[in-house]
């Protein structure tokens, strides 16, 4: 129905209701008197018609969506009717110095009852007739009977197109136990969710406790997911209250939610001092970490943001994304370049003159690098050397190397090359005005080449999920958290530190796979899990620091400094000179030996030549 048709129908219905109200009110008091020939009653009827339509228009009674009517709309009706009756009182007193008090009181009650009834009937039709037609409603449990939960329940009840039928609330507040909210019973005890799901045949769970702590929320989410029922969470309560988002913005629980990690609180002032109004260069800007660092950095309004990468498609994608949200004061400068091209890197440094560099360009896939060790050497070692030495030569203020936990006691070429890259940065820091630092962290959920996208693809195909070993564990962190901590660590650098991010507790890959199966709406036994055996270069578990590098005190929440010792500059120069001519086996033996702090002795004749 169009707005014009609906308004016409409401005006016509109101005209009849208003006319009947005043005549019925008078007739109830004087049943033997002819109401049709009473001149004062006729004047009052004309007055009430005019006054009602005026106040009904003023209070928006013809504009409101009455299928969503509630207390606010009822208040508008009472105000409009009350002022209408007051207008009639004024007219009656002016003309006759008398007022039909009892008749007008009955008229007021009839007026409110009939006008309110006509409006609320729209809601009844929507709640009963339309809902009855929709047989595909999912029985929904709302966890949290507070402000957020009741708001969700109300919006869902008013919008059957969401396909949800709220059935029950669950809350840990004993004061709410047994209450009925919107016709739904409140049960106490989130620990009893499995029993309540079975008891009420629940198809969907909505978690509506935005104020709950991260650890508690993680436990609650795991409990809900373990029921096998689809679980969703709501947006922030602030956004719900301000109308920025609605129930339509509810999202499925993601694997990142199950990490149970509190949100990173950054030193915004220190970061702004380093980045605002400066020229920032990010290598590997099209990658998972590099692109997220770009997103985080641009929030601090740098003068220029240089996006350097080898792949044109990925650089184009992040370039287009940032241009949509960047302010006019920040210049976005996409650059296609290979960090292995020393001349090109030095030319770019000379031309663009960056103040801060985040070096995220690297080869990171362990099994692939085992089969292509020289590529890992060229990109991770010589690429880092080129960018870092160019930074020192052109006086860049800060240089941050993005490293990995695989650089600790590595059995593989990828981890060994990253540890060697850390050593290059540490040695350069010894006699440079540039503040060099490396930041080491574990696996990043959802990054390219990580297990999560692979597992999702395998689940989408119906399985099986392939896992190397049932005891395999890894540290995990979300992409935004890792990127924020990299930026924060850069502000703490004094020269040569290897910062280590607090990755929390290691996660078993088998548990990660099982959680993804449940989040995808399957039971564990519906998707097969196969074990393929540990691949070349892999370890059962990763370390962020070896025993000699441990340092207990954090220099910033979730950031501490490892006491990683580099090899001597003389030995480093010798190894760099010999790497290009080594065979794959020699490369691995030399670099893995160095990374694990085994002494690699240069041949006597060559050592003397140095």
Active site (catalytic) residues: 406
Determine if residue 60 is left, alpha or beta; phi over 0 gives left, psi from -120 to 50 gives alpha, anything else beta: left
Closest CA to 280 of 379, 395, 428, 399: 399
Contact 228, 198 (CB under 8 A): no
How far is it, in rounded angstroms, from Cα 460 to Cα 349?
45
Angstrom distance (rounded) from CA 515 to CA 468: 17
Are 31 and 86 in contact, with CB atoms under 8 Å apart?
no
Residues contacting residue 511 through CB under 8 Å, at least 6 positions apart: none
User: Taking phi first (over 0 means left), then psi (-120 to 50 degrees means alpha), and beta for anything else, what does residue 114 get?
Assistant: alpha
Token readout for 182 is 């919107």
CA distance 94 to 544: 89
Containing 330, the helix (H) or strand (E) segment is none
Write down how long the chain is.
610
How many Cβ atoms sit within 10 Å of the Cβ of residue 326? 17
Distance (Å, whole) CA 233 – CA 219: 14
What is the DSSP secondary-structure string of 423-448?
HHHHHHGGG-SSEEEEEEE-EEET-T
SS3 553: coil
SS3 assignment for 33-99: CCCCCCHHHHHHHHHHHHHHHHHHHHCCCCCCCHHHCCHHHHHHHHHHHHHHHHHHHHHHHHHHCCC
Q: What is the DSSP string of 565-578?
A: PPPPHHHHHHHHHH
Identify any residues that bridge with 466 across adjacent strands, giving them in sequence order.
Answer: 530
State how far the Cα of 70 lies from the Cα of 74, in Å rounded to an integer. 7
How many CB atoms neighbour CB 321 within 10 A?
Answer: 15
> Using the 8-state DSSP alphabet, how is residue 258 labeled?
G
């Amino acid at each position: 129905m169009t707005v014009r048709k609906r308004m016409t129908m409401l005006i016509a219905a109101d005209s009849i209701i208003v006319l009947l109200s005043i005549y019925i009110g008078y007739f109830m008091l004087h049943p033997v008197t002819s109401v049709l020939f009473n001149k004062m009653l006729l004047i009052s009827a004309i007055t009430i018609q005019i006054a009602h339509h005026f106040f009904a228009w003023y209070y928006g009674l013809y504009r409101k969506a009455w299928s969503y009517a509630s207390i606010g709309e009822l208040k508008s009706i009472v105000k409009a009717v009350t002022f209408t009756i007051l207008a009639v009182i004024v007219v009656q007193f002016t003309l006759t110095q008398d007022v039909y008090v009892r008749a007008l009181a009955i008229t007021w009650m009839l007026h409110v009852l009939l006008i309110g009834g006509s409006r609320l009937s729209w809601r009844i039709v929507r709640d009963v007739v339309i809902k009855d037609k929709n047989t595909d409603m999912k029985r929904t449990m709302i966890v949290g009977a507070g402000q957020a939960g009741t708001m969700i329940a109300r919006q869902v009840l008013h919008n059957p197109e969401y396909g949800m039928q709220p059935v029950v609330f669950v809350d840990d507040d004993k004061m709410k136990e047994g209450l009925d909210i919107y016709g739904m019973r409140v049960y106490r005890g989130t620990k009893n969710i499995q029993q309540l799901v079975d008891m009420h045949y629940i198809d969907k769970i909505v978690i509506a406790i935005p104020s709950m702590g991260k650890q508690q929320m993680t436990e609650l989410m795991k409990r809900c997911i373990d029921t096998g029922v689809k679980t969703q969470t709501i947006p922030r309560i602030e956004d719900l209250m301000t109308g920025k988002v609605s129930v339509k913005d509810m999202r499925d629980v993601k694997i990142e939610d199950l990490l149970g990690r509190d949100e990173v609180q950054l030193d915004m002032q220190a970061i702004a001092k380093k980045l605002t109004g400066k020229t920032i260069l990010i290598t590997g800007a099209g990658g998972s970490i590099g692109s997220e660092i770009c997103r985080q950095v641009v929030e601090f309004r740098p003068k220029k943001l240089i996006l350097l990468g080898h792949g044109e498609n990925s650089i184009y994608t992040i370039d287009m994304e940032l241009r949509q949200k960047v302010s006019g004061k920040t210049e976005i400068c996409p650059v296609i370049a290979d960090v292995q091209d020393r001349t090109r890197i030095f030319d770019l440094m000379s031309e663009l003159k960056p103040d801060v560099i985040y070096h995220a360009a690297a080869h990171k896939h362990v099994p692939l690098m085992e089969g292509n060790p020289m590529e890992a050497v060229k990109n991770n070692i010589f690429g880092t050397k080129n960018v870092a030495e160019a930074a020192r030569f052109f006086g860049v203020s800060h240089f941050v190397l993005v490293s990995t936990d695989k650089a600790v006691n590595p059995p593989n070429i990828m981890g060994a090359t990253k540890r060697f890259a850390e050593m290059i940065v540490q040695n350069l820091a010894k006699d440079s005005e540039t503040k060099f630092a490396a930041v080491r962290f574990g696996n990043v959920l959802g990054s390219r080449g990580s297990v999560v996208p692979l597992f999702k693809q395998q689940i989408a195909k119906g399985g099986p999920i392939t896992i190397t070993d049932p005891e395999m564990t890894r540290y995990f962190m979300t992409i935004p958290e890792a990127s924020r901590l990299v930026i924060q660590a850069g502000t703490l650098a004094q020269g040569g530190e290897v910062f280590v991010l607090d990755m929390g507790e290691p996660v078993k890959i088998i548990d990660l796979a099982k959680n993804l199966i449940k989040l995808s709406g399957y039971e564990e036994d519906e998707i097969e899990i196969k074990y393929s055996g540990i691949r070349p270069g892999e370890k059962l578990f990763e370390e962020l620091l070896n025993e000699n590098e441990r340092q207990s005190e954090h220099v910033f929440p979730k950031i501490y400094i490892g006491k990683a010792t580099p090899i001597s500059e003389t030995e480093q120069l010798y190894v760099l000179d010999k790497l290009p001519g080594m065979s794959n086996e020699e490369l691995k033996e030399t670099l893995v030996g160095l990374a694990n702090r085994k002494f690699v002795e240069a041949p006597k004749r060559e050592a003397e030549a140095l």
